[in-house]
Amino acid sequence: MLLHIDSSADATADSVTRRLTAAFARTWRERHPAAEYRHRDLTAVPVPPLTAAYPTLGRRVERAGLVPPAKVPALVESPAEAREWELTLPLVTELAAAHTVVLGVPMYNFAPPAALKAWIDRVTFPGAFAHPDTGESLLADTRVVAVMARGGAYGPETGRESLDFQTPYLRAWWGRLGVRPERFHPVAAELTRVDVLPYLAGLEEAAAGSLAEARAALAALAAG
């Protein structure tokens, strides 16, 4: 299954990440016509933020050891906890079923959008992706393609690499869930605001080159 997630607040026509994830999904689906495909738009249908009942239930699950999702309801002690689990389980199940995840991540204030963070916070439920017998991650072989867009440039040669909180954060989080390093593929298009920010004038060629490189990388990943 391909799980296609968008988090940009922009409409498709204005969003670089939405256009790139859509192109990836088209190619992937052409290569896998019989495979399941799901698209989740975190802006159109936001994931509700966590309430106090979520960590309360989570801590109870942690104290019980490796508890698979199917057994979590037995540990629920209140309607509020039941509601939190009701909101969480479909997202956990969806991610666990995915063979490939393509994730659209624009840079907002040097980091991923709040819409994506709400999804991340909810699916990171204790033990949700751990094998109940071995503790090994159920996501070890999941392939994650993180499609990022930045209005400016943050590569090693720019002097602004330390301001990129997209790539390190996503790499660390997916790694914490158990995705193997070689299965995480970050692809970034930079200088995407070159047409609207005066101080980027003169960098149009670099912006076009970055976008072309991102498209080519994604096309190769989708076809692979």
Q: What is the pLDDT of residue 75?
A: 97
Q: Are 218 and 24 in contact (CB under 8 A)?
A: yes
Cross-sheet strand order for the sheet of 184-189 = 37-41, 2-6, 100-106, 143-149, 184-189
pLDDT in tens, the chain (224 residues): 999 999 999 988 889 999 999 999 999 999 999 999 999 999 999 999 999 999 999 999 999 988 999 999 999 999 999 999 999 999 999 999 999 999 999 999 999 999 999 999 999 999 999 998 888 999 999 999 999 999 888 877 777 888 899 999 999 999 999 999 999 999 999 998 878 777 778 778 888 999 999 999 999 999 98
Q: How far apart are CA 3 and CA 144, in angstroms?
A: 10
Instruction: List the structure tokens of 39.
Output: 């698209």
Using N-to-C axis directions, what is the helix angle for 79-97 and 114-123, rounded to 10°?
Answer: 100
Q: What is the pLDDT of residue 133?
A: 85
Using N-to-C axis directions, what is the helix angle for 204-223 and 16-31, rounded to 10°?
Answer: 30
Per-domain boundaries in the chain: 2-223
Instruction: List the structure tokens of 36.
Output: 């399941």
| Homologous superfamily in CATH for domain 2-223 | Flavodoxin domain (3.40.50.360)
Instruction: List the structure tokens of 127.
Output: 């033990």
